[in-house]
Amino acid sequence: MDNLNKLLFHPSFNDTISEINRLNIQLPPKPSNQEMDFQFYTYPPDGRLVTNVEEIKRYVLDPRKGDKIAHENTTICCAYDESINKFSGLEGTAFLMSHSLVVMKELDFIPLNLLTFYFYTRSKDITNKSKFIKYSKDPEMDSKKDYVNDKIEFLTEYSPSGSILFIDGPLIGGDVYTFMIRAINKFLSKDIIPIFFVKNSSSNLVTDNIPELSGKFNSDMHWAYTYLKKGQRTNFFKYADRNNPDNAKIFCYIKAFELSPQRVEFHIDTFQKYREKIDEIMDLIYYLILAQGDLKNPQVRPIAIAEKYARDTLRLTDINKIAKYSGLVPTMNQERFGW
């Protein structure tokens, strides 16, 4: 816990800002909010569905058991979320990212945030002048790779051993899905149980592979909403890469309110190692969603808190002001555009 309650800056943070100034690169005064959207790529490209993890039926969740687990002295709950600002300039694109980890205590949450700042450009002339400016043919993809790598390093280093780690976003997402899967062993070696949450998804993996559901629903979320009552979850399904069994996950859908459900995902190794605890963890998840009590954005409370810290940290960080007061001499254009 001694490593928490801090704001960390990535080692290249200030150097990247300095190089942007030195190279007379202009950034817009106001960034746009950015989402690392993996929802359309949430499974391996060549996978198969196996439905015999549990009997296909509804499972009732018990928030009272979840409450008891949450307040046991041996239970350590923590959560991760991120917030991202994107600066689109003529010379390239910059991403300011806040990685947020919170640990749930009895009366409070202990935060730890990491700020990263990257600038990507297709200009080799610019990148040849600085080792901190990144050359990229595809800034969107390269930003996702840096984001995932920083996320993994941050979480594996600072998540408390023996904790249940709630992570906003899918386990398997996009072309960089193997990055997170390779990190699972690092979590398990510290007795950390990583659990992934997907609130918005148009996937139809279940409805396409269960004959009696085929053609009846727009998506798995649509089916789960219709199928479940409040306080229930579906059975667990398994999804795996045909060519690599390590690229596999176990997932179910949970419906806390009379609203769209969300998907809860475990890596297969996590699920197998902690199978005896999974049912009580699902009760814990349900309790924490109820404890948050947000009908507009239902999610487990620790993730909601981590999200607030991530967003607030970005609001406190004005890249243009940092550059202005860094002791560097601004260019004429920077003066014109508000520095």
Mean pLDDT, the chain cut into blocks of 10 residues (339 residues total): 76 82 75 62 56 86 96 91 89 92 90 94 91 91 91 95 94 69 92 94 85 89 95 93 80 94 95 96 97 88 96 83 49 39
Whether 98 maps to a domain, the answer reads yes
Query: Cβ neighbours of residue 97 under 8 Å, at least 6 residues apart?
Result: 82, 83, 84, 85, 115, 116, 117, 118, 147, 150
Whether 337 maps to a domain, the answer reads no
Whether 336 maps to a domain, the answer reads no
Whether 269 maps to a domain, the answer reads yes
C-alpha distances out from residue 238 to 96, 146, 183, 266, Å: 35, 29, 19, 10
Q: What residue has token string 């969300």?
A: 262
Check residue 297 and give its pLDDT.
Answer: 83
Check residue 326 and give its pLDDT.
Answer: 44
Whether 24 maps to a domain, the answer reads yes
Whether 148 maps to a domain, the answer reads yes
Contact (Cβ atoms closer than 8 angstroms) between residue 193 and residue 274: yes
Check residue 301 and give its pLDDT.
Answer: 96
Whether 194 maps to a domain, the answer reads yes
Check residue 336 and give its pLDDT.
Answer: 42
Whether 334 maps to a domain, the answer reads no
Domain region containing 199:
6-327
- Assigned token pair, 105: 């205590």
The number of folded domains in the chain is 1
Check residue 50 and give its pLDDT.
Answer: 67
Check residue 40 and give its pLDDT.
Answer: 44
| pTM (predicted TM-score) | 0.86
Burial state string for 207-245 with b = 16 or more CB within 10 A and e = fewer than 16:
beebeebeeebebbbbbbbebbeebbbbebbbbbbeeee
Check residue 80 and give its pLDDT.
Answer: 97
Query: Cβ neighbours of residue 72 under 8 Å, at least 6 residues apart?
Result: none
